[in-house]
Structure 1
Amino acid sequence: MAVVPPEDFPRRTMQSGLDGAVLKFSARRLEDGGFSALVPDEEHQEAYENAEDLAGQLVGYALRKERENPDWTRAFNIQRIRDGIKEKVRSREWDFTPDEQEWIMKRLIALLEQPEGGDTMAGAAQ
């Protein structure tokens, strides 16, 4: 059973290229006849699951880097991770919006602040 994305997880807007000189926006028709520029629930769910999975994996990575480099501060390590995510997105290896990247970092910090450095996923990435 899928976990419902939390309210603070950003929702993507539809991306499209529309030709012409007149200003346009892309939208999809809803079942009630209205329109929405937001991605469907399934895409939102998938984006959330990917972001949550990455945050969980990064807990193990961050803790390992802290053990290997005791002179690094947590803030320094977090910045390195943030820069690494941006580079993976820039090189098109990962597909996260800027808002999703920020959410991942907030989630990572929250997981690291929990006892034992997060949930059980932390050990899986070591």
Structure 2
Amino acid sequence: MPIPPDDFPRRTLMSGLGGAVPKYAAREVEGGGFSAFVPDEEHQQAYDNAEDLATQLVGYARRKEKENPSWTRQFNVDRIRDGIKEKVRSGAWDFTADEQQWVMKRLTALLEHPEAGAPAGSAR
């Protein structure tokens, strides 16, 4: 399982803390400190999901390019971006806005450079 690359966004803890006094949502980490980021396991899962989606979308994008030769790659990528946003908005998929941007950047890289097909976090 490749580790998430440095450019993959890390989620922060989401919480609703009521009251009049400002509060800071954090979790205790080893060594007695605190972190506002999700645990490594959740970060890894979010990366795995994003990498898997980007990889699957390569085939979809190439198929659409063949089926619709008049479409530019940018038009096709924009349609895919809109589709991802709609899936997230409907609750079908769980990707943050930053993760969606990363998926699109990864998809573009895979379309432009098929040899970059190795997972983004793996050693090359």
Common fold by TM > 0.5:
yes
Counting aligned pairs with the same residue, the percent is 72
Gapped regions of structure 1 (runs ≥ 5): 121-126
Give the Å deviation of 1:119.
3.5
Aligned-partner Cα distance in 2 for 1:59–1:115: 9
Runs of 4+ in 1 over 3 A off after TM superposition: none
Q: List per-residue Cα deviations over 1:15-71 (Å, max 9, x = no partner).
A: 011111111121000111010000000000000000000000000000000000000
Q: TM-score, normalised by structure 2?
A: 0.92
**2:82 matched residue in structure 1:** 83
Aligned-partner Cα distance in 1 for 2:51–2:117: 12
Q: List per-residue Cα deviations over 1:78-120 (Å, max 9, x = no partner).
A: 000000000000000000000000000000000001147x639
Judged with a 3 Å threshold, the aligned counterparts in structure 2 of structure 1 residues 115 and 53 are, in CA distance, closer, same or farther, namely closer
**1:112 matched residue in structure 2:** 111
**2:25 matched residue in structure 1:** 26
Q: TM-score, normalised by structure 1?
A: 0.90
Aligned-partner Cα distance in 2 for 1:115–1:54: 16
Aligned-partner Cα distance in 1 for 2:114–2:55: 14
Give the residue type in structure 2 aligned to 1:8: D
Aligned-partner Cα distance in 2 for 1:97–1:32: 29
Aligned-partner Cα distance in 2 for 1:62–1:51: 16
| Aligned residues: CA RMSD | 1.3
Aligned-partner Cα distance in 1 for 2:82–2:23: 34
Give the paired residue count.
Answer: 118
**2:9 matched residue in structure 1:** 10
Q: Secondary structure at the match of 1:19?
A: coil
1:42 aligns with 2:53: no
Gapped regions of structure 2 (runs ≥ 5): 119-124
